Amino acid sequence: MTRGLIVVDVQNDFCEGGSVPVAGGARIATAVAELVEQAANRDYRCVVATRDHHIDPGHHFSEHPDYKDSFPVHCVAGQEGGEFHPHFAPAVASGKIDAVFFKGAHSASKSGFEGADEHGTPLADWLRARGVEEVDVVGIATDHCVRATALDAVKAGFRARVLLDYSVGVAPDTTASTLEDFRQAGVAVSGGTPVPQ
């Protein structure tokens, strides 16, 4: 089956020093960049990246966030926090990413499948047009946007696998429950230490 790689939200605000930092984010940015370099050897038909791109996401931004549905201001369109992390950005600049899908301009939009490329093409349509049937999902964070993207991949009719060596979770409890969600939905999981310590 034809496989694609989806890199989820490897952005400054989700790494150390950002407004919603995930411990280990910078390390994962480096690991994902290395994975992208190896993409041809892993038989990926294409490699895409998603990016939070908030303009006015409403209640998703909050001064009193619950860190489930609402968060501090992050990944605002045109600001440094929304840019790809420096460890990953060269992979994008070098042309090794086939397309970038922007999500969340006016909503929370955790899933990459809610995003569209610069031409307005939704991720699922873009992948199908290239014959992709299976996707590997990596990035930040396992228990938030990676979770939503992988689950939506299955809903959209793709076979999905999350590569834990190239993903990082926020918290042990939510990551553990995410792995159970994956099991129930038929999302495969490969490698890594499943739950952050």
**Pairing, β 3-8 against β 188-190:** unpaired
- Residue 98 annotated as catalytic: no
The answer to whether 46 is a known catalytic residue is no
Q: If you average pLDDT over residues 33-38, what whole number do you get? A: 95
From the list 15, 46, 75, 145, the catalytic residue is 145
Q: What is the pLDDT of residues 153-196, one digit of tens each?
A: 999 999 999 999 999 999 999 999 999 999 999 999 998 765 55
125 catalytic residue (yes or no):
no
Q: Which of 13, 103, 136, 143 is catalytic?
A: 103
| Cβ neighbours for 137, distance < 8 A, ≥ 6 positions apart | 6, 8, 112, 146, 149, 150, 153, 160, 161, 162, 163, 167
User: What is the rounded average pLDDT of the residues 4-17?
Assistant: 97
Kindly tell me if the per-residue pLDDT of 50 is higher than 90. Answer: yes
Question: What value does the mean pLDDT take over residues 138-155?
Answer: 97
